Amino acid sequence: MKTFYIVSVFVVFLLLSSYGLHAQATQSQLKPVCLDNTEQFSITSKYVAGENYIVQVGLPIGYAPSKKSYPVLYVLDGDKSFGMTKEIADWLMWSKEIKDIIVVGISYGQGMDAWWQKRARDYSHCDDTINFKGWFKQTGGAENFLKFVKNELFPVINKNYKTNQDSTAIMGISLGGMLNTYVLFTQPDLFKGYIIIAPCLVWNNESILKMEVEYFSNHKDLNKLVYMTYGSLDSKEIIINSTNELVQTIQKRNYEGLKFTPRIFEGETHISVFSTALTNGLKTIFKR
């Protein structure tokens, strides 16, 4: 009986060891998940010192044999947002709810800490020592980032992909939404469409709201598609109050040519609103 017990234990040990080796071998053979119809490259910018941007491109089904040109959506926070945006757009294109589009993500590819700090540098138009003192290492780099977009990113995308340069849009949330609003009132012709989600317009004592006033003093037209939204559970002090003020101002302006769609999503937070707002923003800006 003792010999049988020892043999049994030995056999079980061999089986477990074999299973462990098999599991390790299988684990080592696993491949990372990749999104269909995507590709990636990098651009070292001369405008943003020392920055090597990772550019992700999502192409619609049927792109390769097609001879037509496509609208382009540029996605801020690509490290976090490109995959979600591309997949939501794929669903909507598949169901014929939006036009076929090219999705371009602008990323850093250096991990979450670097993404968090570099987005603050690139998406803010000035420093803010009022509301966000000590939050970020560097701010106020929006102009350099926009030079990268205009002079380095656009030419590469337009040269290598079948783009409709008259039908570009940009999408961003929070600081990304703030950047989009800044572009809208300082360099509106960079894009035709704007998906602005939960913009942080309180930055630097609501300085962007003052930029809208200056823009209106010199322009009565704004021939753009603008979708602006937030969730009802977002911060009133940081997001809701200033966004409401801007929405009400824009509605009173009656800008010639502007197609403006503001929306509040009940029961959604600063983060949970993202996918819902993005879906509806795509359906608004790229409506078939």
Q: Report the CATH number at residue 149.
A: 3.40.50.1820
Residues 196 and 143: their CA atoms lie apart, in Å, by: 18
Question: Residue 85: is its pLDDT beyond 50?
Answer: yes
In this structure, are 245 and 161 located in the same domain? yes
Residue closest to 192 by CA, chosen among 203, 184, 201? 184
Residues 284 and 259: their CA atoms lie apart, in Å, by: 10
- CB-based burial of residue 229 (10 Å sphere; 0-12 exposed, 13-18 middle, 19+ buried)? buried
In this structure, are 87 and 168 located in the same domain? yes
Contact (CB, 8 A) for 232 and 265: yes
Residues 89 and 195: their CA atoms lie apart, in Å, by: 13
Count of structural domains within the chain? 2
Q: What token pair was written down for 282?
A: 């795509």
Classify residue 251 by its DSSP letter: H
Contact (CB, 8 A) for 205 and 174: no
Q: How many CB atoms lie within 10 A of CB 125?
A: 23
Tell me the sheet residues that pair with 70: 163
Q: What token pair was written down for 165?
A: 């340069």
Torsion of CA 150, 154, 86, 235, to 10 degrees: 0
Range of the domain at 8: 1-30
In this structure, are 14 and 157 located in the same domain? no
- Summary mean pLDDT of the chain: 91
Q: How far is CA 2 from CA 6, 13, 14, in A?
A: 6, 17, 19
| Percentage of the residues of the chain whose pLDDT score is greater than 90 | 85
pLDDT tens-place string over residues 25-64:
455 689 888 999 999 999 999 999 989 999 999 999 999 9
**Helix (H, G, I), strand (E, B), or coil: what is residue 284?**
helix
Question: Residue 225: is its pLDDT beyond 60?
Answer: yes
In this structure, are 46 and 136 located in the same domain? yes
What pLDDT does 10 receive? 37
121-149 mean pLDDT = 92
Question: Which of 28-37, 52-61, 109-118, 205-214 shows the lowest mean pLDDT across its residues?
Answer: 28-37
In this structure, are 80 and 13 located in the same domain? no
Question: Residue 103: is its pLDDT beyond 60?
Answer: yes
Question: Residue 13: is its pLDDT beyond 90?
Answer: no
Contact (CB, 8 A) for 175 and 132: no
Question: Residue 119: is its pLDDT beyond 90?
Answer: yes
What pLDDT does 15 receive? 41
In this structure, are 22 and 147 located in the same domain? no
Q: What DSSP string describes 175-221?
A: HHHHHHHHHHHHSGGG-SEEEEES--TTHHHHHHHHHHHHHHHH-SB
In this structure, are 168 and 203 located in the same domain? yes
* Higher-scoring residue by pLDDT: 23, 119: 119
Q: H helices within the chain, ranges in order?
A: 2-28, 78-94, 112-123, 142-148, 154-160, 175-186, 203-218, 241-253, 273-285
Residues 72 and 79: their CA atoms lie apart, in Å, by: 18
In this structure, are 25 and 41 located in the same domain? no
In this structure, are 21 and 91 located in the same domain? no
Residues 160 and 29: their CA atoms lie apart, in Å, by: 34
Tell me the sheet residues that pair with 98: 287
In this structure, are 143 and 50 located in the same domain? yes
What pLDDT does 12 receive? 37
Q: What token pair was written down for 273?
A: 């609103």
pLDDT band at 145; cut points 50, 70, 90: very high
Q: What token pair was written down for 49?
A: 């010192």
